[in-house]
Amino acid sequence: MGAPRREDVVGPAGIEKVGERAVKRAREGRRGRAPRVLVVEDEALICVETADTLEHQGFEVHLALSGEDALRRLRSGLPIDILFTDVHLAGPLDGATLARLAREIHPELVVVYTSGTVEGVNERVAGSVFVPKPYNPDRVAHMLTRMSAGCA
């Protein structure tokens, strides 16, 4: 996909601004239930803190501590609307590859990347968003709520 564009990187001040394509995908076909998020983060404390915040905001949250675990769960039929993944994960499967494989399973999946070591994702899927670490879990929850408007 090339280098990340400025508008695809969501910083702390502009985290509420998300791509319209992502909003449209999140709205399609998911009315009447909580949006389902798969949080993929190999740092357990960050994973749990993010999950707790998202659950408090009304999301149905699933956790994976590795890309391999996330992919196994997706291939076994886990239904999700949003993939929130760290770019650098422990093990052989990174967040960019996971997102690409997840989109093969769920073509309309909303993808949000995060990292504290890079400023974007070069091999990102179309319409995805990048949130740099450290991030405020409440701001991320607010952003995902906007991305999934109309789902609940």
Q: Break the chain into its structural domains and give their ranges.
A: 6-147
The stretch 85-95 carries a mean pLDDT of 93
Question: Mean of the pLDDT values across residues 10-21?
Answer: 39
Which of 28-32, 47-51, 76-80, 117-121 tops mean pLDDT? 76-80
> If you ran DSSP here, which 8-state letter would residue 9 be given?
B
Angle (nearest 5°) at CA 12 between 36 and 65: 40
8 A C-beta contact, residue 105 and residue 124 = no
Mean pLDDT along residues 64-80: 96
**Average pLDDT, integer, range 104-127:** 90
Q: Could you tell me if 99 and 124 are in contact, meaning their C-beta atoms sit under 8 angstroms apart?
A: yes
Residue 10: CB atoms within 10 A of its CB come to: 23
Average pLDDT of the residues in 33-53:
91
Q: What is the mean pLDDT of the chain?
A: 80
Cα four-point dihedral sign 103, 57, 121, 44: negative
Predicted confidence at residue 120, as pLDDT, reads 81
CATH pick for 6-147 out of 3.40.50.2300, 3.50.50.60, 3.40.50.300, 3.40.50.1000: 3.40.50.2300
Strand partners, 110: 82
